[in-house]
Amino acid sequence: MGISVEFTVPEAVLGFPEVRRALPKEVWMRVILWHSAVIYAISLRREMCLREQTHEDGTLFDFSGWEAVATKQIRAILIEIGRDYEGSGSVERRYNTEWVEGNEFIC
């Protein structure tokens, strides 16, 4: 399924509402989780750059590695969510539909 993502300020700030509308409701939370993890990764990398700044002519931000940070956060959150759902029968099936099926972060 190909989805066009508009990277406008309102879309990015609001967690991509247009993308969510184009997806089945069961996977909307994946978009929100991905959005939160990316914002966290950008914030973490920015904080590191500010802390390591050694010159007075402005701050250069290096966002390389944000993908690894976001992936680690998503995996940790999904594992934690999975623990909450364990052994709950129909709730566990809902977890599989919403978070596991077709998801590359928890295999």
- Each residue's pLDDT tens digit, 21-31: 887 777 778 78
Q: Give the pLDDT score at 67.
A: 81
Residue span of the structural domain in which 49 resides? 9-100
43 part of a folded domain: yes
pLDDT tens, residue by residue, 35-83: 888 888 888 888 888 877 777 766 677 778 878 888 888 888 777 777 7
**How many distinct structural domains can be found in the chain?**
1
93 part of a folded domain: yes
Structure tokens at 15: 């967690």
107 part of a folded domain: no
Q: Give the pLDDT score at 25.
A: 79
Q: Give the pLDDT score at 107.
A: 42
CB 23 within 8 A of CB 16: no
> Vertex 41, ends 55 and 102: CA angle to 5°?
155
Beta strands in the chain (DSSP E): none
Does pTM surpass 0.75? no
